[in-house]
Amino acid sequence: MPSNIPQNDQGRPSLTNGPELGIRDMMQITVERLGCVVLGSNWRFADLSSHFWRLYLHDVDGAEAIIARRSWPLRGGHPLLIPPWLHWASRPGHGVRQVFVHFASPGLSDTVLRRSFQQPIDLYPAPFLVEGLSHLGERLTAGQQPGAGDLLRAKALVCLALAQACEGLTSGAIPLTQLYGLSPLRTLAAAVDADPGADWSTTGFARQLGCSTDHTTRLFSRHLGATPARFVAERRLVAAARALVAGRDDIETIAVAHGFANRFSFTRSFIRRFGTGPAAYRKRA
């Protein structure tokens, strides 16, 4: 367990987010994949769920996403943001040109995100997004490999898209403490992300925070949207999903490295969360 938890002047863990503004920007955005393709039958999915966000821009109407039997047309010129964890199906249309950016937000609570974003988000009108994504698509269509400039441009665009999505919530703004967590919790959460396979426990978290296990559970639930055990389980699944997509390790190795007893236990948990097994997820991510 980490020991460098911020302390206050009484030597206790500090439960503030930072000086003056009370905000310590711990939000992280990582671009995992970007590209420009013409959709075909390979973009037809029956049940798709991912650990990352998907930002799409299509040049013409035709494709659609289907969530809970409701159709969400992906209109030409309308940037569309599909949240992580959402279960959806897709129909590709014909000859639709798609610019896409897949990105993760490990600095945000997955539980809070699932509660706040339960459907795709049409970001139209968004001229800056349309112009930026179109320019990115032109560069990628020309056969250029994404460079540092493309990656930074994509990151700026997804930050703008995510900000617009947060501002558009009709159920009320997400409190900053639920997005970032209190600083000791963010330190603990970052440690879990850095080593998801470690032996994390509510008792260990409580020891680091200097409070009871009951109070630790309340802090996690209030500010990260989940109990410590559930938070660790979800971060392990996210890290394992990322390893499936980004690496070549076999499923057994990934399972054990991320805190699961074996590939069978891992597969059961993975299917419950993503609706498909690890091998299938790796192929279509």
Report in angstroms the alpha-carbon separations of 12 from 16, 130, 219.
Answer: 12, 48, 15
Place of tokens 């799409």: 56
Domain locations in the chain as residue ranges? 30-167, 176-284
Selecting from 3.40.50.300, 1.10.10.60, 3.40.50.720, 1.20.1630.10, what CATH number does the domain 176-284 have? 1.10.10.60
**CB neighbour class for 182 (10 Å; exposed up to 12, middle 13-18, buried from 19):** buried
**CATH number of this structure's domain 30-167:** 2.60.120
**Tens-binned pLDDT, residue by residue, of the chain (285 aa):** 544 444 444 444 444 444 444 455 567 789 999 999 999 988 998 888 999 999 999 999 999 999 988 999 999 999 999 999 899 999 998 899 999 999 998 777 777 788 889 899 999 989 999 999 999 999 998 777 889 999 999 999 999 999 899 888 765 566 666 666 666 787 888 899 899 999 999 999 999 999 999 999 999 988 888 899 999 999 999 999 999 998 899 999 999 999 999 999 999 999 999 989 999 999 887
User: Which residue blocks in 119-212 are alpha helix, DSSP H?
Assistant: 127-141, 148-167, 176-180, 183-194, 202-209
Which residues sit opposite 72 in a β-bridge? 65
pLDDT of residue 176: 64
pLDDT of residue 224: 82
pLDDT of residue 190: 84
Single-letter amino acid code for the residue at 132: G
pLDDT of residue 150: 93
Strands 63-67 and 89-91: antiparallel
C-beta separation of 38 from 95 below 8 A:
yes
User: Which residue blocks in 24-147 are alpha helix, DSSP H?
Assistant: 110-116, 127-141
pLDDT of residue 199: 95
> Which tokens hold the place of 53?
């966000």
pLDDT of residue 175: 66
pLDDT of residue 28: 79
